[in-house]
């Protein structure tokens, strides 16, 4: 596969950011602008974003492949770490897998509302979600299916508040969204194993987000071996944009707590 080339800004302790679905590295623009004087910030486009090609015979990149990419970036551009990794939504699942399989690379991890089932008896994604996405893509368009996805994960009100240009940019990533949905559907959380994860983890939720994120965050908090759970007032699923000053400050505080 083609190596990922990240963007690197700033000086100081290294932070790796992993974006979610319907997004790319630019989702962290506010963090880069606000924190580059204090931190060395690595952002990148995950495989499947933009023009990235799928492996032969594959329909999507697996969570583990995304986590391997994140590990390679730390090894190549952060001298093997340890670093702080921050993941939003799908990116939070990637960071969770990184903490599970490559804990030596991380001093800490911030997981922003990973879209996982709250226990292992539930399907990883709603059973008809991917089929409905594909039906909408055929009957309306790829961007039309992406709008359905965004309204589902953000809520109608949050979607309507998005500037038109951001709506259009997000919906243009409909192929990436489809891959991510399939990857989540193939990823078992294995909650019973999470107690062995000793990387310090800060689970963050928004108090205006959909309730199912809260259920998952509580489940992860109970299962992980070294986790703290907090909610940011006034924030929705895109909390790093909704309340960016408070989010940036909490990131700096967490860095101090894990002594990076």
What would the mean pLDDT of 182-197 be, rounded to a whole number? 96
pLDDT-above-70 percentage for the chain = 95
Instruction: Please give the Cα distance from 33 to 180 (Å, whole number).
Output: 28
Q: What is the CATH number of the domain that holds 251?
A: 3.40.50.1820
Domain presence at residue 177: no
DSSP conformation class of 43: E
pTM: 0.96
Give the total number of structural domains in the chain: 1
Grade residue 44 by pLDDT with cuts at 50, 70 and 90: very high
- Locate 25 and state its tokens: 């590295």
Domain presence at residue 126: no
Residue 61's contacts (CB-CB under 8 Å, 6 or more residues apart) are 46, 47, 48, 54, 55, 179, 183
pLDDT higher than threshold 80 for residue 28: yes
In the prediction, which pLDDT does 3 show?
77
pLDDT higher than threshold 60 for residue 51: no
Instruction: Please give the Cα distance from 69 to 75 (Å, whole number).
Output: 10
Domain presence at residue 2: no
In the prediction, which pLDDT does 259 show?
84
Range of the domain at 56: 7-118+188-257
22: left (phi over 0), alpha (psi -120 to 50) or beta: left
pLDDT, averaged across the chain:
94
* The Cα angle at residue 89 between residues 128 and 186, in degrees rounded to 5: 45
In the prediction, which pLDDT does 48 show?
87
Domain presence at residue 227: yes
Whole-Å CA distances, 125 to 115, 152, 189, 243: 8, 12, 12, 28
Q: What residue has token string 């990973």? A: 114
Listed range (26-30, 56-60, 128-132) with the worst mean pLDDT: 56-60
Neighbours of 141 (CB within 10 A): 13
DSSP string, 133-174: HHHHHHHT-HHHHHHHHHHHHH-HHHHHHS-HHHHHHHHTTH
In the prediction, which pLDDT does 59 show?
83
In the prediction, which pLDDT does 1 show?
62
pLDDT higher than threshold 80 for residue 53: no
In the prediction, which pLDDT does 161 show?
92
Domain presence at residue 164: no
Domain presence at residue 178: no
Domain presence at residue 244: yes
pLDDT higher than threshold 80 for residue 230: yes
Q: Tell me the pLDDT tens digit for each residue of 125-170.
A: 998 999 999 999 999 999 999 999 999 999 999 999 999 999 999 9
What would the mean pLDDT of 210-228 be, rounded to a whole number? 96
Q: Tell me the pLDDT tens digit for each residue of 78-122.
A: 998 899 999 999 999 999 999 999 999 999 999 999 999 999 999
pLDDT higher than threshold 70 for residue 55: no
Higher model confidence: residue 47 or residue 260?
Answer: 47
């Amino acid at each position: 596969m083609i190596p990922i080339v990240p963007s690197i800004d700033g000086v100081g302790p290294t932070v790796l950011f992993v974006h979610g679905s319907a997004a790319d590295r630019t989702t962290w623009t506010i963090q880069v602008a606000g924190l580059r004087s204090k931190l060395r910030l690595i952002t990148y486009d995950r495989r499947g974003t933009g023009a990235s090609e799928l492996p032969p015979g594959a329909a999507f990149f697996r969570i583990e492949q995304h986590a391997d990419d994140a590990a390679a970036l730390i090894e190549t551009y952060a001298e093997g770490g340890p670093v702080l990794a921050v993941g939003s939504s799908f990116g939070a699942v990637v960071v969770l897998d990184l903490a599970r399989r490559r804990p030596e690379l991380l001093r800490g991890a911030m997981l922003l509302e990973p879209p996982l089932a709250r226990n292992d008896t539930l399907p990883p994604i709603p059973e008809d979600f991917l089929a409905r996405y594909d039906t909408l893509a055929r009957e309306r368009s790829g961007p039309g299916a992406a709008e359905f996805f965004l309204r589902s994960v953000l809520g109608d009100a949050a979607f309507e508040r998005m500037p038109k240009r951001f709506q259009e940019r997000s919906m243009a990533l409909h192929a990436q969204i489809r891959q991510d949905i399939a990857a989540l559907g193939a990823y078992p959380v294995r909650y019973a194993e999470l107690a062995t994860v000793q990387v310090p983890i800060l689970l963050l939720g928004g108090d205006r987000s959909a309730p199912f994120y809260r259920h998952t965050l509580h489940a992860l908090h109970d299962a992980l071996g070294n986790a703290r759970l907090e909610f940011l007032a006034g924030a929705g699923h895109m909390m790093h944009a909704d309340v960016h000053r408070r989010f940036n400050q909490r990131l700096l505080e967490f860095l101090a707590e894990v002594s990076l």
